[in-house]
Structure 1
Amino acid sequence: FCRNSITWLRSRTKLGMAVPFDDNINFHKVVAVGVAVGVAIHAICHLTCDFPRLLHASDEAYAPLAKNFGERRPPNYWWFVKGKEGWTGLVMVILMAIAFILAQPWFRRNKVKLPKALKRLTGFNAFWYSHHLFVIVYALLLVHGWFLYLSKKWYQKTTWMYLAVPIILYACERLIRAFRAGYETVEILKVAVYPGNVLALQVTKPQGFKYTSGQYIFVNCADVSPFEW
């Protein structure tokens, strides 16, 4: 999503020696797998360690935690799930799982044979829109990180600090893209499909345009989707 930043970092810094900016799709996949592993470890630790220890703790062991979980000990797992910390975490996992599944090649490229009624749930559009569920995930993550069991003071709730930079960066990227989209209009001069199913577009050159390595172009086909670029 942050292609302006990636282009700048690749061309103006030496980070490209360590970060594979030119292979950003595979790098994105590696990050996604890392997120999945982190989420799994986080959830497993809660479900198999933290919650059972609280549910089965002796009165003496539970006493110091009563101020965080209440004088009455949580009776079962449902107590944790129905709380803000629980349901936000569960919904985040479900949304990320949907995005992860629909991003797989067999769904994204319509290779899975599904009934006609379910066919619309796959394909590139499904992949594209499901990936934008990250907006909801980020919002839920803020809630999840605010209603903590043990940390009650605002400066101890640091989730928003880690999200502030990527959110601001992404917002700036979208503003730059919106500004550039209305800066100057170009005309399509020629469209051709070459061997290998390669689509070529020839457009007019904007006034003052200067090509530099690493540039790219967003193309929108409104008949397919007004939001997909």
Structure 2
Amino acid sequence: MLDLKNSTYADIRQRRSTPWRRFELWMINDGKMYAYFGFWILIEALLFSLALVNYRYYPLWQNMEQLLGGSFVTARAAALVLHVNSALVLLPICRTVISWIRTTPLNRIIPFDHALLFHKVIGYSILLFTFVHAAAHYRNYYVVSKAMDVPYWRLLFTTGHSLTGHAMMLIIVVMGVTGHGKIRNKHFNLFWNLHHLFVVFFACFSIHGGFCLLKKNLPPFCSTGAAFYKYWIFSGVVYLFERLSREFRANMRAKHMRIQKVILHPSKVLEVQYHKPRGFKALAGQYAFLNCPAISTQQWHPFTLTSAPEEDYVSMHIRLAGDWTRAFAEVLGAREEHWKALERTRDEPAANDGALETPDSARDSADLVAYTPLSRASDLSVARHHRHDQQYPKQQQQHQSHHHRGSGLRANRRNTMLLVDQTAESHDFRSLGPQRHSNHRGSRFVSRIS
């Protein structure tokens, strides 16, 4: 326990920087997550090891083990891990189910807040053991081709098990590459569309084991047929109902919301303010799913609500990091020349902001371009303002000061602002109402922009 009364600031910092204290803070923040994923990796390693021993000494597989050797054992052990991962990979992305489970005591044991990370871990585990399984079978094909006097390429590219296997391997590689953080953030449309190849993956997965490549010692050798579907069918049905429920909520529980203002901040951050409908309640830290049919009717993107609960509008700050966010900004009228104009103002010298004699640089994060949707369609007009009190209309001064109080910025510390009135028709959004997630409620908005 720190004695704050009799300790100096340096003493307190030194005590807080001890290795044990840093370890305690790490355990509080991230330790549970890393411990859980470490435990999961240990389970998969143990499962793979036990499968190696089982297929090495199990009597029903002795003939195949003697013919093919260690590659047969490795292929079967990797297949067992793939079965387990395929059964679980869809569950972490069932948001409704995860949100409900978080309210149970099980949340104290399993970090459901990191469900999406768990999905990625399972996905890359599938990618890893797919390569292990394929490499082992390449060697098995070679041994069989020599024993049967059949061309190696024929076994590798013309049989049912090889064709489905190569199709699954190609799909999982494509999904793994496009699912990487840098690619997903910059090209989300590509990631989203290619990730739906999981339907083809599970279709091939279901029939992959029905071609009787590996036979047991005793009859019936291949009587079960294609039975791999039983590993993923439960999670697949849960995920199907999850997607259907999302579509139902999106189409049946929507309320219209109208965009009031679109603001461009430095570093390509787009602030969108919506009119708050009567009865709408939002708390700090909540998030919303946005859908813009002008871009895609199927894509929903989560963004944190950045407005205070007492504000008369709902706002989000969206960083233009990917193709969807860039397209969304273009739909709202924010073009590349506006961003360039904003960046040019950041390179101008500092200026004083009046009686306070406080030098303020145009690089301040308060610099922005504001889009105000009005009633009639006309061209965009750009006006540069250095002083709010001299060049802004009184109504705009009050609005800007109110905006700065809500965002925690001082209006009199901004010395450059680009104001753009977009006199296009207002854009309507639909709200699906509050939804629970984590400790907050999320809201969905679907854009009516077209």
TM bucket (normalised to shorter chain) is: 0.7 to 0.9
Q: Distance in 2 between matches of 1:42 and 1:206?
A: 58
Query: Equivalent residue of 2:252, what SS?
Result: coil
Residue 11 (structure 1) aligned to one of 75, 78, 103: 103
Give the match for residue 123 of structure 2. Answer: 32
Paired amino acid for 2:98: I
Identify the residue that residue 64 of structure 1 maps to in structure 2.
Answer: none
Deviation, 1:159, is 0.7
| 1:45 is aligned to 2:136 | yes
Unaligned runs of 5+ in 2: 1-92, 216-220, 301-450
Q: 1:135 aligns with which of 191, 199, 207?
A: 199
How far 1:137 sits from its partner (Å)? Answer: 1.0
- 1:187 corresponds to 2:277: no
* Structure 1 stretches lacking a partner, 5+ long: 58-71, 111-122
Deviates more, 1:187-196 or 1:9-18: 187-196
* Structure-to-structure mapping, 1:194-209, within 5 angstroms: 197=269, 199=271, 202=274
Q: Comparing 33-42 with 101-110, which one deviates more in the overlay?
A: 101-110
Whole-Å separation in 1 of the counterparts to 2:292 and 2:105: 34
Q: Secondary structure at the residue paired with 2:289?
A: coil
User: In structure 2, what residue type is equivalent to 1:152?
Assistant: C
CA distance in structure 2 between the partners assigned to 1:148 and 1:32 by the alignment: 27
Among 75, 90, 93, the alignment partner of 2:151 is 75
Structure with larger Rg: 2
Matches within 5 A, 1:1-229: 1-15=93-107, 17-18=109-110, 20-48=111-139, 50-57=140-147, 73-110=149-186, 123-149=187-213, 150=215, 152-154=222-224, 157-189=226-258, 190=260, 197=269, 199=271, 202=274, 217-229=288-300
Closer/same/farther in 2, CA of residues 106 and 216 from structure 1, 3 Å limit? closer
Give deviations 1:106-138, integer Å, cap 9, x for gaps: 43344xxxxxxxxxxxx2111111111111111
Inter-partner Cα distance in structure 2 for 1:90 and 1:104: 21
Relative distance call for 1:55 and 1:228 in structure 2 (3 A) is: same
Higher helix fraction (1 or 2): 1
- Identify the residue that residue 66 of structure 1 maps to in structure 2: none
Name the count of aligned residue pairs. Answer: 199
Paired-residue identity, %: 27
Deviation larger for 125-134 or 20-29: 20-29
2 CA distance for matches of 1:14 and 1:193? Answer: 42
After superposition, the CA RMSD in angstroms is 3.1
Q: Which amino acid aligns with 1:17?
A: I
Write the letter of the residue equivalent to 2:180: Q
Q: Deviations over 1:156-201 (max 9, x none)?
A: 6431110211111111112211221223221224555586736556
Q: Flag the 1:7–1:83 CA change in 2: closer, same or farther, 3 A.
A: same
Q: Which has the higher contact order (CA 8 A, sep 6+)?
A: 1
More strand by share: 2
TM-score, structure 2 as length reference: 0.39
Offset of 1:211 from its aligned partner? Answer: 7.8
Query: What's the TM-score, normalizing by structure 1?
Result: 0.72
C-alpha separation between the residues in 1 aligned to 2:278 and 2:196? 31
